[in-house]
Chains A and B, each alone.
Chain A
Amino acid sequence: MEVILFHLMPYADLDLEKGRANGTVWVNLPNSNFDPVKGHKLYNRYLDELEYGEELGFDAIAVNEHHQTAYGLMPSPIVTASALARRTKRAKIAILGSALPLREHPLMVAEEHAMIDVISGGRLISGFVRGIGAEYHTFGVNPTFSHDRFHEAHDLIVRAWTEPGPFAFQGRHYNVQYVNLWPRPYQKPHPPIWIPSQGSRETIDWSAHPDRRYTYLQTFSPASVVQRYLKMYRDTCKGFGYEAEDRQLGWAVPVYVAQTDEAARREAKPHFEAFRNVFVRMPVEMLLPPGYTSRESLKSVMKAKAAMFADITLEKSIELGVIVCGSPASARAALESYWKDMRFGNLLVLCQFGTLPADLTRKNMELFAREVMPAVKAFRSSAELVR
């Protein structure tokens, strides 16, 4: 099992009342709410936390991309991953991921990822995403072409990484006369590709395909939902005639550990509830613009709307497995039980969430690394032991 420290870099200094009053911190929360001086401190604190992750023994440290929101201050994960590439020596660096359809030119993504891979000596994990619905509002990219652009951009990037250049690429959305990447990526044939997703049928079919076998990450969902989608991925692989390896599956989940269950809950509560009930929140029109998902998925979300868009407490979130929170022993037990149900080979832990301050974040990371991570890394399925 690989354990990855994942960071969203939220604007933790947000005036939560303003975020609440606006109904969302995405798209249209005025950027007068962002203070660059506070932002300076936050960026450096968060980068320090990720670098500390290497020291604590995490297998990888991970960043992601979100635009024009207090939810995450990483419109370019390239910037944060680049900074980390020079400040770390051992840990892999995961970009989870670059939002391909939002980019004017996918070759830039191919180039930037290749640069980080070469600079870091082959430590890059490349993640590709479509960007979330809100970002189609902020970027103006047509969501009804989102899947098409994603697939075409992916094809161009992988070909640019692997085929000798120069060659010409003709697509519906991108056309290049001379694809001839300098630098080529360090890893052969190219950096591993991970696909973070909220669980769409289309994405599972595509990433499980035998030509790709990309690692599928289920992000921030109740454990039962994660389990359903990871099983769907395994079943899809079986349908393609092969058995998924555990390394093809991952779960991203917030984790908070303290000396006792009671302390963990008390310390995490306001910060997790800010994350879940303020930072994540957005209206359905923002989350799912037309064409971003199939109309059938859109309808099921609209049906579940009341549950999805209501406030949820920390206690309920623990029960649902939206967060792992408790003493080290409780966290170990919870993760082992989830792992037995799901057999994910990658666990991505979010040790900072919402407004969680620096001292609690460090304490959480240290305790998790010392008292939970060794046990988690030792989880091995019998199939893996045979190999």
Chain B
Amino acid sequence: MAFSERFIEVDGCRLNLRRGGSGEPLLYLHGASGAPAVLPFMEKLAQRFDMLVPEHPGFGASDEPGWLENMHDLAYFYLDVLESLELRGLHLVGSSLGGWLALEMAVRDASRLKSLLLVGPAGISVPGVKPGDVFLWSPEELTRNLFFDPALAEKMLAQPMTPELLDVSLKNRHTVARLGWEPRMHDPFLRKWLHRVNVPVKIVWGEADKILPVAYAGEFKKLMPAAEVEIIPRCGHLPQAERPEEFCDIVMRFAGKR
């Protein structure tokens, strides 16, 4: 499935947007490591959906707008993106930091959403549960802690670091810090308003997640009792990368039936 890649401009920010496939629209919001390439799970989902994969402001090839100071700014920006692209009946999928972003959007305005699927989302803190410190880990430790299967980390670490990739990774890291340094990867006020998410919600979590431990899933279930929760065994923080087949099945079963 071919993906097009182009810049769109919203709120004075050039956003790099990949788009492919056809069907109901599905917007994928990436996590802290960005969305630098079309991955197999995106290809697969594009067989069923009109897949939209932007690089967030401050990530990858997108601009770094001066107005981007916190997650609320990013949520309002993406609500403007939905309006600007005239997206309706949208399936919103967010991973990690992108899951937090999806929730911040949905509590503000879910009127353009048809469903919300969250993959190991950040956005809340869980009393007594300590998330991994993505800012203190070295890049190598971080990569190793992303996956359950060490072979996947090895494969990723074996890729040579070009100056361009280094620039992008430093840019991404800067934006992640701006959005999530303190309070660490969450908004203490978000949990008060999660009841406003009035579309079907599914939460997917890797059982062996070392970034945001699986105990987070239980806390989300408490806060959003109507949400479906699915735990993937022998899987780390990125089920879409570590178990793409299984992940796509879950998305199809959840979003595809609606």
Contact = CB atoms under 8 A, between A and B. Distances in A.
B29 interface: no
B29 to A, nearest CB: 20
A290 B177 contact: yes
Interface residues of B, number: 17
Contacts of A291: 174, 177-178
Contacts of B171: 295
Interface in A280-339: 283-286, 289-291, 295, 298-299
A299 B170 contact: yes
Interface stretch (A137-145, A163-171, A180-188): A137-145
A141 B182 contact: yes
A16 interface: no
Contacts of A232: none
B178 to A, nearest CB: 4
Interface stretch (B134-142, B207-215, B229-237): B134-142
Interface in B120-179: 135-138, 166-167, 170-171, 173-174, 176-178
A27 interface: yes
B72 interface: no
A299 B138 CA distance: 15
Given A142-B177, A143-B177, A285 B182 contact: no
A140 B181 contact: yes
Contacts, number: 50
Q: Name A's interface SS.
A: helix
Interface in A238-287: 283-286
A291 B174 CA distance: 6
A137 B184 CA distance: 11
Contact of A140 (B136, B166, B173, B182): B182
A283 B167 contact: no
Contact of A286 (B136, B167, B177, B181): B136
Nearest to B178: A144
A137 B167 contact: no
A93 B160 CA distance: 52
B174 A144 contact: yes
A132 to B, nearest CB: 14
A285 B135 contact: yes
Contacts of A142: 177-178, 181-182
Given A143-B177, A290-B176, A295 B182 contact: no
Interface of A: 27-28, 136-137, 140-145, 283-286, 289-291, 295, 298-299
Given A28-B136, A298-B170, 16 more contacts: A141-B182, A142-B178, A143-B177, A144-B174, A144-B181, A284-B138, A289-B135, A289-B181, A290-B173, A290-B174, A290-B176, A290-B177, A291-B174, A295-B171, A295-B174, A299-B166
28 contacts: A28-B136, A136-B181, A137-B135, A140-B181, A140-B182, A140-B183, A141-B182, A142-B178, A142-B182, A144-B174, A144-B178, A145-B178, A283-B136, A283-B138, A285-B136, A285-B137, A286-B136, A289-B135, A290-B173, A290-B174, A290-B176, A290-B181, A291-B178, A295-B167, A295-B170, A295-B174, A298-B170, A299-B166
